[in-house]
């Protein structure tokens, strides 16, 4: 199963963290919470969820994971001020591996400079920033462009999580060459 990093900071949108985390874990994927300081506990925006940071971004590399999930809320606005976080997001996006961001999460994608020429969606107030960074913004439940998966809001979490899980499914085995007898 896949190893998935979820990037959080204080003020994350509670359900946008807990629902992907729980669905990924229930289906056998290994979820690792990444943040600025290992051992820190950060609280969600609505104080309904807490996240324990298992690994600092300074000790994380895209090669250690198969996918990155970025919840929204107030967390991305804080995380984007940390050069190590921005570099991690940029390197992950350039790795070609799945990067999934919801709501305000795409702010980090814009900050990392990885949306130019890409089709994305987000919370409506992030639209202008994404367009200024060169993205084509669409008002859809989920937008997929290569390895980037973006979504608008908590109401879209089912579709967002379904798409992440589908993208993490192993490719079907290809039959080998047939030998003539």
In whole angstroms, give the CA distance from residue 85 to residue 65. 15
Query: Into how many domains does the chain fold?
Result: 1
Per-residue pLDDT reduced to its tens digit, 157-177: 999 999 999 999 876 666 656
Q: Which of 32-46, 105-119, 121-135 has the lowest mean pLDDT?
A: 32-46
Would you say residue 130 lies in a domain?
no
Would you say residue 52 lies in a domain?
yes
Would you say residue 71 lies in a domain?
yes
Would you say residue 149 lies in a domain?
no
10: domain CATH number is 3.40.50.880
Instruction: Specify the pLDDT at position 178.
Output: 58
Q: For residue 42, give its domain range.
A: 3-114+154-168
Taking the complete model, does pTM exceed 0.85, yes or no? Answer: yes
SS3 annotation, 40-87: CEEECCCCCCEEECCEEHHHCCHHHCCEEEECCECHHHHHCCCHHHHH
In whole angstroms, give the CA distance from residue 131 to residue 154. 22
- State the CB neighbour count (10 A cutoff) for residue 141: 15
Would you say residue 80 lies in a domain?
yes
Per-residue pLDDT reduced to its tens digit, 34-89: 999 989 999 999 999 999 999 999 999 999 999 999 999 999 999 999 999 999 99
Instruction: Specify the pLDDT at position 177.
Output: 61
In whole angstroms, give the CA distance from residue 108 to residue 150. 12
Active site residues: 103
Residues 89/108, Cβ–Cβ less than 8 Å: yes
CA atoms within 13 A on the CB side of 142: 16
Strands 142-145, 67-70: pairing is unpaired
């Amino acid at each position: 199963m896949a190893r998935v990093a979820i990037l959080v900071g204080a003020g994350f949108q509670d359900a946008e963290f807990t629902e992907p985390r729980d669905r990924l874990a229930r289906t056998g994927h290994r979820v690792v919470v990444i943040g600025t300081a290992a051992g820190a506990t950060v609280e969600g925006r609505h104080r309904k969820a807490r996240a324990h940071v298992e690994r600092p971004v300074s000790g994380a590399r895209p090669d250690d994971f198969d996918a990155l999930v970025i919840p929204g809320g107030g967390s991305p606005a804080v995380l984007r001020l940390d050069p190590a976080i921005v570099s991690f997001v940029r390197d992950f996006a350039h790795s070609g591996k799945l990067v999934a961001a919801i709501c305000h999460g795409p702010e980090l994608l814009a900050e990392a400079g990885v949306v130019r020429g890409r089709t994305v969606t987000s919370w409506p107030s992030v639209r202008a920033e994404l367009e200024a960074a060169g993205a084509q913004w669409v008002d859809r439940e989920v937008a997929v462009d290569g390895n980037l998966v973006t979504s608008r809001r908590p109401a879209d979490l089912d579709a967002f999580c379904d798409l992440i899980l589908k993208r993490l499914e192993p490719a079907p085995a290809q039959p080998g060459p047939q030998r003539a007898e």
